[in-house]
A and B are shown apart, each in its own frame.
Chain A
Amino acid sequence: MLIKRPPDVRPSEITDEKIYRERRRFLQQATAAGLLLAPVLQAPAAPADARKLGPLKRGPYSTDEKLTSYRDITSYNNFYEFGTDKTDPARNAKNFRTHPWSIAVEGEVRRPAVYQLEDFMKPHALEERVYRLRCVEAWSMVIPWVGFPLADVIKRAGPTANAKYVEFTTLHDPEQMPGQRGGLLGAGIEWPYVEGLRLDEAMHPLTIFAVGLYGEVLPNQNGAPLRLVVPWKYGFKSIKSIVKLRFVEQQPRITWMKANPREYGFYSNVNPEVDHPRWSQAYETRIGEDSVFDRLLRKRKTLPFNGYAEDVAHLYAGMDLKKYY
């Protein structure tokens, strides 16, 4: 006889999940009935229904691990543009304007252009990708992103033979982003935030541009309206609120390397063997799940490449990952 044990979760999380599944069922039915139009991005003040994204296909690579609750994903954020405390972004990004939004594609490409976000997204079918996210600060989440493969964007831009890296830039707007004010006595990093990937990393099918999570438009504190998600790298590589993609020949100087080159490298692949100079990366805390007592019972091991080694380890064949951290 098969006995199903009830899952060991808190009621708050069950509710979250249930509402979420119902929404998905609604989306599927609505899509079948031809009721849903192409995804429309709305200002934050729009009614809740307008924030729903659809139709969504279930993309590859999704994990079936328990999702981190919507509340934790949207209230525990590192987004220094809106403050350095984990609770700052949810509060300070409330009135952030994500519409209109333009994205520049430039550098070593055959088709440089400046797009409005709607046009930028139009050619792409939205899919759901449930990925683990591992922060360099040794905590992790499981997030149901909505987005599309970055590879498709890159193919459209048509990189030239000189394009070896892609450099991404976040919006610089101190008026809207209080974290960017304050000079030396602010967040302590240079603005605008810049990130980068090697072209093969950017082209990897795991790498996506996300425009939503939990089936809805990306909340501002999570990097609206458009962010990168590279699940085998530490979270800070997954740059938020992107306004520019630049294809370049030289490895870009990314923000955290400028802030502290000894502690942060260009690759920043999740690696339990290579410690951050100030803390070990061998273990992690799963946000919202690992209570103090759980932790006493068992520690959660961090996996090489955040558990995506099978898919991405070949990108770094022959490289000394202790040197190229």
Chain B
Amino acid sequence: MALSPARAAALAKPVVFAAALIPFALLASMIVSDELGPNPVETLNRYTGDWTLRFLLLTLAVTPVRSLTGWQLLIRFRRMLGLFAFFYACLHFLSWILVDKVFDWDEIVKDVVKRPFITMGFTTFLLLIPLAATSTQGMVRRLGGRRWRALHRLVYVAAVGGVVHFWWLVKSDIREPLLYAAILAVLLGYRVWVYRRRSSAVAAA
């Protein structure tokens, strides 16, 4: 019996959902069994930060991959991936406030104000909040498609902010943040390319 593509996508959804939870499950088991390694604070911060960036890039990959492969149904996973990026960003934020700073508000404020990489990370986190809050069908309707799309372009800013945040964190070895930056450049570059081609097509017509 052949599955219709729509049915296949519907079936795949819980699978993708469960897969996106695997990093969280691994983290939870590491915490419970005290296996975060010699420096648990560093591990927590880095692990949650890494996965936030990965899900942000995955979310941004949906549109290019969809138009290059023609697999239209991929769009059905975009919101879920975006919300997982926000989920891991929340864990990352909590790890900083709770475990790294242990609610030392003086230190937290000083971090945000004085340290550019934290200012950048904090701003990026704030940018993700309205996107998560307006991710429902209801909000799309209430805002109207055009305004909703305009608002959600903030995700480009957030992704750049996230990569810059990572770049400014490293001491001297920039190879890892460079890799994220390169992937992001391809994903954003694709959009610029599409936009240019479209506007030149319009101009020609």
Contacts and interface: CB of A to CB of B under 8 A. Distances in A.
Interface residues of B, number: 30
A278 B121 CA distance: 12
Interface stretch (B30-38, B70-78, B134-142): B30-38
A288 B36 CA distance: 10
A282 B107 contact: yes
A199 interface: no
A296 B34 CA distance: 14
Contacts of A137: 42, 171
Contacts of A185: 174-175, 178
A267 to B, nearest CB: 19
B40 A290 contact: yes
Contacts of B40: 285, 290-292, 295
Interface in B99-149: 99, 102, 104, 107, 110-111, 114-118
A66 to B, nearest CB: 14
A37 B42 CA distance: 43
Interface string A212-243: 00000000000000000000000000000000
8 contacts: A86-B38, A185-B175, A188-B173, A188-B174, A277-B114, A282-B107, A295-B99, A296-B99
B174 A288 contact: no
Nearest to A282: B107
B42 A139 contact: yes
B172 A287 contact: no
B44 A292 contact: yes
A259 B169 contact: no
Interface of A: 72, 75-76, 80, 84, 86, 137, 139, 185-189, 259-260, 275, 277-280, 282, 285, 287-288, 290-292, 295-296, 299
B113 to A, nearest CB: 12
B173 A84 contact: yes
B10 interface: no
B102 A296 contact: yes
Contact of B172 (A72, A75, A188, A292): A188
Interface in B39-66: 39-42, 44
- Binding site secondary structure of chain B: helix
Contact of A299 (B102, B110, B117, B171): B102
Contacts of B42: 137, 139, 285
A259 B41 contact: no
Given A76-B39, A278-B117, A187 B31 contact: no
Contacts of B102: 295-296, 299
A280 B111 contact: yes
A275 to B, nearest CB: 8
B98 interface: yes
B167 to A, nearest CB: 12
A310 B111 CA distance: 31
Across chains A and B, which 9 residue pairs bring their CB atoms closest together, nearest first?
A: A188-B172, A84-B173, A76-B38, A287-B38, A72-B38, A292-B40, A188-B173, A189-B172, A187-B173
B175 to A, nearest CB: 6
A183 B34 CA distance: 38
A192 B182 CA distance: 30
A282 B173 CA distance: 25
Contact of A259 (B34, B44, B117, B172): B172
B36 A292 contact: yes
B35 to A, nearest CB: 10
Contact of B38 (A279, A288, A296): A288
Contacts of B114: 275, 277
A188 B174 CA distance: 7
- The winner among B37, B102, B171, B178 for most chain A CB atoms within 10 A is B171
Which one of B37, B40, B172 has the highest number of Cβ atoms from chain A below 10 Å of its Cβ?
A: B172
A290 to B, nearest CB: 7
A292 B111 contact: no
Nearest to B178: A185
A287 B42 CA distance: 11
Given A139-B42, A279-B115, A187 B172 contact: yes
Contacts of A84: 171-173
Contacts of B168: 278
B25 to A, nearest CB: 17
Contacts of B115: 277-279
A280 B173 contact: no
Contact of B107 (A186, A280, A287): A280
Contacts of B34: 291
Interface in B160-189: 168-169, 171-175, 178
Contacts of A260: 172
B38 A292 contact: no
